[in-house]
Copies of this chain bind each other. A is one copy, B any other.
Amino acid sequence: MSGKMKLGVFPLDVGHHIAAWRHPDVPPGGATDLSYFRHLAQVAERGKLDMIFFGDQMAAQYPDDESIGRTSRVLRPEPIALLSALAAVTERIGLVATVSTSYFEPYHVARKFSTLDHFSNGRAGWNIVTSWNDKEALNFNRGELLEHGLRYRRALEFVDVTTRLWDSWEDDAFLHDKDSGRFFDPEKLHVSNFKGEYFSARGPLNLPRSPQGYPVLVQAGSSDDGRDFAAKTAEVIFTAQPDLTQAKAFYADIKAQVEAAGRSPNHVKVMPGLMPIVGRSEAEAQEKFQRLQDLIDPQIGWVVLSRHLGGVDLSAYPLDGPVPELPLTQGNQSRQRLLLDMARRDGLTLRQLYERVVGSRGHWIVAGTAEQIADQMESWLREGGADGFNLMPPWLPGNLEEFVDHVIPVLQRRGLFRTEYEGRTLRDNLGLPKPTNRFKDGRKNIWI
């Protein structure tokens, strides 16, 4: 890492833990209530966090069996509308939305993020995903999956068209000269007239170049194609890393790929997910986590575990009995073997096994005092595992409030985190350069 750490918060629904909605302090109806999101953004801004980040899913997904109705993971407001509303009630925090390159047109995407960047005075970020999931496809008149590599080639072209649209106007193209009647300088207007393999968009965009030039480009893919795409385009990389050893390997690999792509590793911030649980003592933190674990609906735990074990039928086995010997199925066998080995090694019951699986979602959980959490974050930062972290609160808003009130001051006291925002834009705060307009002075694109 270089300098202080970067921090984002990723509020999913009313918390990342699958049972969050049953937590006594969690507001009902959170996911569709603007005042809930406003509160989250304002707490995060009080903590001087770099950004608030929203994932996306363009389908309501739920188990279609006897556990139907027992999950809150079916609701998702549209993320640009959400962040635009938050732009109006915050001043400094970055606003990052996930938008897929599979279900949108580049002109719409360019325009939405430009609007958000203008309205927020330079605080927009775009988490680029290529997601193509069956349930989503069915909502968009499509049936079949695109092949993985093709999705990324399409995504690269999508980003190319979109950045060209953002470069339609040079930064000083608009003159607003009332006396002479000249509103814009036509020499500073560039019509890209793009015709590619997958997309065409003539341009120009009907908005001036936005304060940041482009929103901050974020990526979270960890496959080979995903890393290649991130190395070429991303400025922030979100990643799931369960421990420091794996985090260091990922960090070293991605920074090397960024350098190999001809970009500065300093201009790409690697931010693993972190699920913090703050207590006055370690025991209290553990207790808080266990209270949440106890709220997992057995039917939902069962469904999730059965899915992770390759769709095997568990109905013959008792919930609090030992994990039985099970045959491997055609699904992800390495994950099946990993879970079964873990269960045997630690002598787990079926309930204990699903608690491990549905609790963490593969991310790094740290339960402890504020000092203990800060220690862990510091060591990841100093040992080359991270440039910062994306907080994934297990329940909301309480867990975020505790982090901001107790952990942030410790990080600040140690000089690991800002006490005031460095600048006005998300790029300023992340220490990322503003991309130069590729058309200015006849230049080629030099934003990377």
The answer on a CB contact under 8 Å between B85 and A119 is: yes
Alpha-carbon gap, A253 to B410, bound state (A): 71
The answer on a CB contact under 8 Å between A206 and B76 is: yes
Chain B positions within 8 Å of A86 at CB level: 88
The answer on a CB contact under 8 Å between A178 and B85 is: no
Alpha-carbon gap, A24 to B297, bound state (A): 64
Chain B positions within 8 Å of A60 at CB level: 168, 203-206
Chain B positions within 8 Å of A38 at CB level: 88
> Given A138-B202, A201-B141, A203-B139, A85–B82 Cβ distance below 8 Å?
no
Chain B positions within 8 Å of A297 at CB level: 181
Contact with B along A71-86 (1 / 0, CB 8 A): 1101111101110111
A375: CB under 8 A from chain B? no
Contact with B along A114-130 (1 / 0, CB 8 A): 11101110000000000
Chain B positions within 8 Å of A260 at CB level: none
Number of copies: 2
The answer on a CB contact under 8 Å between B118 and A77 is: yes
Chain B positions within 8 Å of A185 at CB level: 69
CB within 8 Å of B: which A152-211 residues: 168, 174-176, 178, 181-186, 189, 199-208
Min C-beta distance of A237 to chain B, whole Å: 26
> Given A84-B81, A183-B71, A32–B208 Cβ distance below 8 Å?
yes
A34: CB under 8 A from chain B? yes
A59: CB under 8 A from chain B? yes
Chain B positions within 8 Å of A299 at CB level: 181
A440: CB under 8 A from chain B? no
6 A-B pairs besides A28-B178, A77-B115, A78-B114 with CB distance below 8 A are A71-B183, A76-B207, A78-B111, A81-B112, A105-B140, A139-B203
5 intermolecular pairs with C-beta atoms under 8 Å apart? A21-B176, A58-B111, A69-B183, A69-B184, A70-B182
